[in-house]
Amino acid sequence: MATFKAEVYKHQKRSDGTWNVKIRVTHNRQKKYLSTPIYVKQDDITRSSFKLKKNITDKTDKMIEEYEAICTELGLKLKSMPIDDLIKELENGVKPKVENIDFIAFAVRKIKEMEEDGHGGSARSYKTTIESLKRFIKRDTLAISEITSVFMEDYEKWLKDRKPLSNRVLGDRALSLYPGYIRALHNLAKKEYNDEEMGIIRIPWSPFQKYHVKKPTPAKKRNLSAEMIRKILTLPDQPSTNIGCTRVNLARDVFALSFYLIGMNTVDLFNCDCIADGRITYQRTKTKNRRDDKAEISVKIEPEAMPLIEKYMDKTRRRVFKFYCMYASKDCLNTAVNKGLKKIGEILGIEDLEFYAARHSWATIARNDLRINKYVVHEALNHVDDAMKVTDMYLEKDYSQNDDANRRVITYVLTGDNGVKKRKNKRE
């Protein structure tokens, strides 16, 4: 007969200070472990022997009873069954009751998967949502059966009425973003726990058919005028005696690199590793996992970008830039840049200056000021047009129009020359 025991292991402590409870399965003198949806904190574990306390073992005992029932049903087959086959039987046979599915624990697991897949930005957004949800319910666990349309309406009202944290005013976008992320996680849970084809419905209701997530307030445009961009690009080095001068100079440089490289994000500046033949080639992190072409793009290095590339070049050649040597992670670089941009905004009188203004402004200047074809702007930003997907399959990649557009944008921003006279002369 197989035996079961719920355990946690010191060395498996997670970054959030919790441990995942495992069920140790012993069969024919071999051991395997089953993960559970239960996560515990230090208060749930005895200090002397590092064993689970009764409030947790009460939950795991119910799970073990289900495993033992499956073993009983297997009868004589169990004795000769390899442990790997037994594990499959246990995983397929246990049908958790709806009330046993902890939505918070499920969300934490999905957030970890996002982080491991390189989607740190999305993970942070979901994590912020779950922290907000925990403040609303005033506990760290939430049965998925509790999430009803009434629950969501109460949560939305709480978001509207709650006092802002750290003197920050809660943006209207949170009223759509947070419930939207909860809906996405709820749908993921249904996808994982339900199997309509086999008639297994562990989460039978859909609260979001009745509760409708509010449409987000349109985000404030982040684009700046050519004159404002020029002021940022030409901002002199801040004296070393000034507090925060290093961040200001870094923020100006990284902002300039992004602008000169057609809106390259900090995560891609941090990670990119291909520079050759006067071009930087990279796969855009934000969309590479959603596209067949891995969102790859190649950008010509213009003369204005070269001094900055040389300044921050990685001498080891492992990557293009040495930002990964300067900062522990892309998030740390992003934080430093945003703090520096805030100071630049104060110096130049630009309200709410954000890093994405480089990308948004490049696009707006290209289209509105220089009348560059909208499809060229679209392609230069490495976007895809679903209506053109089939056509794109037949076309060989050609970045020359992007290169020409970028040259025109940079020249216009720095000199005011929109290139109209030159084009007229060519026609003449």
- Who wins on pLDDT, 93 or 140? 140
What local confidence, expressed as pLDDT, does residue 244 receive? 65
Q: 52-82 b/e with 16+ CB inside 10 Å = b?
A: beeebbebbeebbebbeebbeebeeebeebe
pLDDT digits (tens, 9 = 90+) for 276-295: 999 999 999 888 877 877 88
pTM over 0.75: no
Token representation of residue 234:
């030409």
Q: What angle do CA 390, 265, 169 make, to 5 degrees?
A: 115
Instruction: Between 243 and 115, name the one with better pLDDT.
Output: 115
Question: What number of H helices and E strands is found in the chain?
Answer: 18, 6
Tens digits of per-residue pLDDT, 328-370?
A: 988 899 999 999 999 999 999 998 899 999 999 999 999 999 9
Instruction: Please say if the pLDDT value at position 94 is more than 70.
Output: no
For 166-193, write each residue's pLDDT tens digit: 434 455 678 889 999 999 999 999 998 8
Is 287 within 8 Å of 122 (Cβ atoms)? no
Which residues partner with 3 through β-bridges?
A: 26
Quote the percentage of the chain above a pLDDT of 70: 89
Q: How confident is the model at residue 418 (pLDDT cuts 50, 70, 90)?
A: confident
Q: Model confidence over 215-225: pLDDT tens digits?
A: 876 666 678 99
Non-local CB neighbours of 202 within 8 Å, separated by 6+ positions: 95, 96, 97, 98, 101, 193, 194
Residue 335: its pLDDT value, please? 92
Please, what's the largest Cα pairwise distance for the chain? 93
Put the strands of the sheet holding 3-7 in their side by side order.
3-7, 19-27, 30-40
Which H or E run contains 343?
helix 330-348
Residue 80 above 60 pLDDT?
A: yes
Which residues, listed in sequence order, are joined to residue 31 by a DSSP beta bridge? 26
Strand order in the sheet with 296-300: 275-276, 279-283, 296-300
**Does the structure show a pLDDT above 50 at 400?**
yes
Classify residue 382 by its DSSP letter: T
List the one residue out of 364, 341, 336, 340 whose CA is nearest residue 352. 341
Given a cut of 60, whether residue 425 has pLDDT beyond it is no
Helices (H), 52-173: 54-74, 77-80, 83-93, 103-116, 120-137, 149-161
d(CA 39, CA 44) in angstroms, rounded, equals 9
Q: Any idea which residue has 């897949």 for tokens?
A: 117
Mean pLDDT on 379-395? 74
pLDDT by residue (tens digit) across 55-64? 899 889 988 9
Give the range with max mean pLDDT: 94-108, 137-151, 238-252. 137-151
Give the separation between CA 259 and CA 360, rounded to whole angstroms.
Answer: 9
Average pLDDT over residues 3-31: 91
Q: Burial, 415: exposed, middle or buried (Cβ in 10 Å; 0-12, 13-18, 19+)?
A: exposed
H helix runs in 146-244, sequence order: 149-161, 174-193, 226-233
Indicate whether 133 pLDDT > 70: yes
Task: Name the pLDDT band for 251 (thresholds 50, 70, 90).
Answer: very high
Q: Does the pLDDT at position 325 exceed 90? A: yes
- Read off the amino acid at residue 106: F
Whether the predicted pLDDT of 97 surpasses 90: no
Confidence bin at 48 (pLDDT 50/70/90): confident
